[in-house]
Structure 1
């Protein structure tokens, strides 16, 4: 079993859109997949119509087993561990980075008996507890929009998470709008300063908004649109890097 965290310090860069579409594609590749929504906003949970009737906070306090929170989605071989607003207290329930990492390691080990891939939709937080969660993951996928604030946020993460090995670190350019000269110029010129970026790009598209209205991954509901093709290309790039068995 492998774990992929989709993480960014800046919000609004397509993190949840990336997580739900890659999860759907993995499931369609016959990989038993779990998407674990750790963001209190619960974007992934909402898209998949998932309401667990319980609070994830109960799991982090050791009150309920993780399996009791997992729900099936309409996509075969894809389950979800829904989020809720109790996750705002996450940093209070876990004392330290070390405790968060150990807790995640133990939980992921138990889930490995059921799933081949777990995708974490992470909140835009840089806390010791969040770092502990990320340290427990095999790969960290970082969507970076070619805007000043998004690039700055990426650099902050890169500087602070110097523990991450190069094989764990998977940044890629997302929401590139080719109508904007600054976006095009950054990709053509400045991106050369970041050789660690994947050679796969996800464009800006209004299809992402339609996905929210349909509450279904774009690769499922609108498979022919350019954004769906972008995510299929991203999955084909990321999949071999996960060393799935």
Structure 2
């Protein structure tokens, strides 16, 4: 199973949209895909019309039951979506208390990785949507993956947030003695504005080949798809945004092969 984490220490840059879009396209291509929501706001979970507060289990329970977790327990926590081949491990507001309640306990950094490893035969891909805060959840998501996607809105305030994220990856790679495969994904690009054009130039100048050579454009179809609780590639398969994520997926597949 390939595990990708979608992370940035700034909100509103397209993390959930990227997770949903890539997951939907992969599922439509016949891949078995698991989406994992680690954000206490549960935007990814609510995207599919799932009210995690009414569920018996969520990502939070992985941490509660971490010492005795088995495959069947994890499978029971999953929820199907409206798209075949696409399941979700939902988030809940209880995750907001995780750092305070258990952050100092031993063995907390690899809970998600161990849980995903139990499902290695069940899925081809796992995509992890992260909260915009460095804590136990983001550490788990980074430790569990083999590739990190960092969506960045093409405007200068978002570039400042990217600096924090890249610093985090540097510190994590040193502490874990591993190199992360990282791809920065420029999002919400509007070619009509100077701000987007200048921000993209700055991204390429600062981070070079780590930045994907294309962009995800501003596309209202993303918002419309979320209102219908459908992945964008089902709602508007010929839209500019879906075309961009198809191109991104092709690019990532080439990197991994």
Once the two structures are superposed, residues 200-219 of structure 1 have per-residue CA deviations (whole angstroms, 9 ceiling, x without a partner) of 21011222221221111111
Once the two structures are superposed, residues 163-185 of structure 1 have per-residue CA deviations (whole angstroms, 9 ceiling, x without a partner) of 44665111111111122212112
Does the alignment pair 1:70 with 2:78? yes
Task: Report what 1:82 is aligned to.
Answer: 90
Does the alignment pair 1:153 with 2:167? no
The 3 A distance-change label for structure 1 pair 98 and 4 is farther
Partner Cα separation in structure 2 for residue 190 and residue 142 of structure 1: 12
SS at match of 2:44: helix
Partner Cα separation in structure 2 for residue 97 and residue 122 of structure 1: 21
TM-score (norm 2): 0.86
> Among residues 99, 104, 113, which one is paired with 2:107 in the alignment?
99
**Conservation of the 8 A alpha-carbon contact between 1:9 and 1:154:** yes
Name whichever of 34-43 and 206-215 sits farther off: 206-215
**Distance apart, 1:86 and its partner CA:** 1.3
Task: Report what 1:172 is aligned to.
Answer: 185
Partner Cα separation in structure 2 for residue 97 and residue 142 of structure 1: 28
**Conservation of the 8 A alpha-carbon contact between 1:10 and 1:150:** yes
Partner Cα separation in structure 2 for residue 98 and residue 140 of structure 1: 25
The 3 A distance-change label for structure 1 pair 95 and 236 is same
The 3 A distance-change label for structure 1 pair 31 and 116 is same
TM-score (norm 1): 0.90
SS at match of 1:169: strand
Task: Report what 1:59 is aligned to.
Answer: 62
Superposition RMSD in Å: 2.1
> Among residues 162, 186, 192, which one is paired with 2:205 in the alignment?
192
Task: Report what 2:126 is aligned to.
Answer: 118
**Conservation of the 8 A alpha-carbon contact between 1:176 and 1:203:** yes
Task: Report what 2:150 is aligned to.
Answer: 142
SS at match of 2:41: coil
**Conservation of the 8 A alpha-carbon contact between 2:19 and 2:127:** yes
Partner Cα separation in structure 2 for residue 58 and residue 209 of structure 1: 30
SS at match of 1:194: helix
**Distance apart, 1:94 and its partner CA:** 3.9
**Conservation of the 8 A alpha-carbon contact between 2:185 and 2:215:** yes
**Distance apart, 1:40 and its partner CA:** 1.5
Task: Report what 1:238 is aligned to.
Answer: 252
Partner Cα separation in structure 1 for residue 104 and residue 7 of structure 2: 19
The 3 A distance-change label for structure 1 pair 87 and 167 is closer
**Distance apart, 1:189 and its partner CA:** 5.4
The 3 A distance-change label for structure 1 pair 18 and 97 is farther
**Distance apart, 1:31 and its partner CA:** 1.3
Once the two structures are superposed, residues 91-121 of structure 1 have per-residue CA deviations (whole angstroms, 9 ceiling, x without a partner) of 2354359723321221111011211110001
